[in-house]
Structure 1
Amino acid sequence: MPTYGVRGLAVACALAVGAATLAYLLTALFPLVGARMARSAAEQLDRDVLLGAVLAEVLFSLPYFLALLTAGTLVVIWTWRARKNLDAFPGATPNLGPAWAIAGWLVPLVNLVVPARVLADLLRNSVWQRRQAWLVGVWWASWLVFLIGDRFVARAEQQRYDRLTELPRNDAEFATYVRFYEDALAPRLVPAVACLVAGIAFVVLVRRISAAQQDRLSRAVPAWPVQAGWSGWPGQPGPPAPALPAMSAQIPPGPDGTIGA
């Protein structure tokens, strides 16, 4: 069965997920900047400053979307490679096939359940430490809070924004924009905290699963390449026949260990 190295990809995946998490936190805190710009617009009765606040939020969001796209691509590739490695591990008993390692992230509604099951498979069959299973639960719960909370907050903000005066003319109408940004901060903190927890938990999972798999792959014994029928140089015995790696039942090792190849 083919195997895939995951160490370098795990590092890239962790960096991309960390960058996406940080970028989202910056977008969640934008109301602090928006409220300040709205107060400046109210003092000057300048609509252009309000327009500048809208453009500034778009600029804040661009790095997040780029980081999210990069992280999503790397996560799908890493998940598929790590799941394919399980097929080469004797005794591994994953519940879902490799195709779910890709489809589970992309299919709507399915992506609320399947990625957690795939990660549970990877953790259980790569790291023999049952006490670490709670990491999948923490990641899954915080990931769901982030996904649902972010969409709910975005929809509520859009409804509130649509009720604002499109072309404010006096202090009272400009003040509604100040209140809009001030009231937007607190709801954004819920998905922001969930995003931070999910990002940290996922990075820990990726690194632990990858380290365990890479350790197992590095301990595999390669066979010596020998041409059939060759018995060595004249007067010298040929090399011994290559021995296949011993294959034994998968048994959990001692504490803090990883499964053997």
Structure 2
Amino acid sequence: MPCQTCGDTTSPTFDECQTCHTPLGQPAVTPGLPTYAVRGIGTAVQIAVGATAVLFLLASLVPVVGLVMAERAAADRDSDLLLGAAVLELALWLPLLAVYLTAAVLVIIWTWRARKNIDAFPGALPSLGAGWAIAGWLVPFANLVVPARVVANIARDSLWQRRTPVLVGVWWTAWLVFSVGERVVDKLDEREYARLPENPVDPADFQAYVAYYERILGWHLVPALAGLVAAATLIVLVRRISAAQQARIARAAGAWTVTPGMTVTPGGPVPSYPQPTPIPPTPVSPQVPPASGGTIGA
């Protein structure tokens, strides 16, 4: 008989579908368990993550502007030109912070919804509770491992794979390089900037600014490129997982035929039928006492 999840023909030799690993005879979604829409929130995640990566890359290229301004300041002996790079950096970091926080919130919401959905997928093998989809991002040190494990679990059970997709490993490795590298580079940047002369006057002072921007440009590009890889792989994962989960939930919803008078519970596609209206008894005329002499033996 065909599998109710993927539609492939199953074999009684195995106790589960060899394509999607749904146990034989089980529906695509367990009746009565809630499922959550992930396509809309997934689209929002993709936009926010992409915008964050682009803004961070632009902010990482600010040293290029600083280098040009420092060279002009050295040629004109004008220290006011050195303020241009600082103003541009501030103008980029403010919207970057807002977009970054928005992306973080959306990713956490999407991860929690996607993790809750696999609880309703027969054959899924979740290894961590749904609460870790939120706590895993917030608990120190755990946030170095747990989010990757949660997303790996979601990807396996949503994309019908028993092994973690390679894309999850690429995403998490790039994310760690980005998050750790960005903090290290910021510390180095602060230390180098503190060594610059506050009021440059002679050519050596201006040349120190030129050398500073030349050094930090390469430093900032490393986490920026890692951030681009992390963003691109996460966008692909979110798109694939969201599409797979929505298709499975829609397939399960279509497995029940909705007839007039049937209602569907808000938590899932389980049909509930209204109780039949009791039929009142047919009225019976009251018996009339027999008249005298009207029956035998009277």
User: Which residue matches 2:138?
Assistant: 106
| Residue matched to 2:20 | none
* Equivalent position of 1:251 in the other structure: none
Consecutive unaligned residues of structure 2, counting only runs of 5 or more, are 1-32, 264-272, 280-298
State the shift of 1:140 in Å. 0.9
Query: Which aligned pairs between 1:2-151 and structure 2 lie closer than 5 A?
Result: 2-129=34-161, 133-151=165-183
In structure 1, stretches of 5+ residues that fail to align are 233-261
The alignment's TM-score, normalised by the length of structure 2, stands at 0.74
Runs of 4+ in 1 over 4 A off after TM superposition: none
Which sits farther off after the overlay, 9-18 or 41-50? 41-50
Tell me, what secondary structure is at the counterpart of 2:109?
helix
Give the superposition deviation at 1:132. Answer: 6.5
Q: CA deviation at 1:63?
A: 2.3
Residue 182 of structure 1 pairs with residue 182 of structure 2 = no
Deviates more, 1:70-79 or 1:123-132: 123-132
Cα distance in 2, alignment partners of residues 119 and 127 from structure 1: 12
Q: Give the superposition deviation at 1:231.
A: 9.0
TM-score by length of 1: 0.84
Give the residue type in structure 1 aligned to 2:100: L
Count matched residues.
Answer: 232
Query: Matched residues in 1 for 2:127 and 2:43: separation?
Result: 26
Larger mean Cα displacement after TM superposition, 146-155 or 220-229: 220-229
Q: In structure 2, do the counterparts of structure 1 residues 231 and 134 end up closer, same or farther at CA, with 3 Å as the change threshold?
A: farther
Between the aligned partners of 2:128 and 2:162, the Cα distance in structure 1 is 19
Partner Cα distance (1:136, 1:208) in 2: 12
Code of the residue aligned with 1:192 in structure 2: it is A
CA shift, 1:165, in A, is 0.7
The letter of the residue matching 1:72 is: A
What CA distance in whole angstroms lies between the structure 2 residues aligned with 1:113 and 1:125? Answer: 19
- Structure 1 position 194 matched with structure 2 position 241: no
1:211-230 equivalences in 2 (<5 Å): 211-220=243-252, 221-222=255-256, 224-225=262-263, 226-230=273-277
Distance 2:139 2:201 in 1: 47
* Identity rate, percent: 53
What secondary structure does 2:172 align onto? Answer: helix
CA drift of 1:51 comes to 2.2
Cα deviation code 1:45-93 (max 9, x no counterpart): 2222212321211112222212111111110110011111111112212
- The whole-number CA distance in structure 1 between the counterparts of 2:45 and 2:107 is 6
Give the distance between the partners of 1:132 and 1:203, measured in 2 at CA.
17
Paired residues for 1:242-257 under 5 Å: none
